[in-house]
């Protein structure tokens, strides 16, 4: 445990409060404590409770969200989702840098959507943890299917009607009507656009 007055860390709680508004701080506390209570609650009741916590803490929720057991959502003050948003078991969404999701989006089990990274350059005498984050928004279009065990990195836009194959690591934009897969994700094939 770091010394809270250590000059390398500064006053950690004060630094945290300087970087977050009171609304963000209240939302972070709500998602942390209410999330622990509701994360493993079973059945439709649990799904409803998780939706209500998201509705309370997220920047925008367009309709009912299907958040399955074991989903972890952090920094939901940066999360904007449309209708018919389905997030499967074990998925993790970190919206510190902003995540915007369209309508009818599926996120597979154990997938990760992350909109921030730790800073690359660290000043002499500074710890990596105290160097802060680099925020890059994630934009997910409508009618997108993100398969199981995928990673979508910050700064990525996933176009409408796209599919991200299981296990893919998406580090660059995905065009609409495209299936991508691999690490790093590459185009597998184009989908036919409806007329």
List 9, 20, 118, 143, catalytic entry? 118
Of 48, 75, 76, whose CA–CA distance to 64 is shortest? 48
Instruction: In whole angstroms, give the CA distance from residue 103 to residue 70.
Output: 22
Please list the residues that pair with 74 across neighbouring strands. 94
The answer to whether the CB of 24 falls within 8 A of the CB of 77 is yes
Reading the block at residue 191, the tokens are 């989908």
Instruction: In whole angstroms, give the CA distance from residue 112 to residue 128.
Output: 22
- Residue 20 designated active-site: no
CA 108 centroid distance within chain: 13
SS3 category, 81: strand
The residue to which tokens 């409806």 are assigned: 194
Instruction: In whole angstroms, give the CA distance from residue 178 to residue 181.
Output: 10
Catalytic positions are: 118
């Amino acid at each position: 445990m770091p010394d809270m007055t250590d000059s390398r860390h500064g006053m950690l709680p004060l630094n945290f409060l300087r970087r977050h508004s009171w609304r963000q701080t209240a939302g972070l506390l709500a998602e942390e404590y209410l999330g622990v209570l509701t994360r493993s609650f079973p059945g439709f009741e649990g799904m409803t409770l998780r939706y209500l916590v998201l509705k309370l803490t997220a920047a925008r929720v367009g309709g009912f969200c299907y958040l399955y057991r074991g989903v972890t959502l952090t920094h939901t003050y940066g999360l904007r989702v449309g209708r018919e948003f389905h997030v499967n078991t074990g998925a993790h969404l970190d919206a510190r840098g902003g995540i915007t999701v369209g309508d009818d989006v599926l996120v597979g089990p154990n997938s990760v959507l992350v909109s921030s990274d730790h800073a690359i350059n660290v000043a002499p005498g500074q710890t990596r943890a105290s160097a802060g984050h680099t925020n890059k928004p994630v934009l997910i279009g409508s009618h997108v299917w993100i398969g199981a065990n995928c990673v979508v990195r910050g700064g990525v836009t996933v176009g409408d009607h796209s599919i991200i194959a299981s296990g893919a690591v998406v580090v660059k934009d995905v065009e609409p009507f495209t299936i991508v897969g691999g690490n790093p994700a590459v185009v597998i094939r184009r989908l036919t656009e409806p007329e």
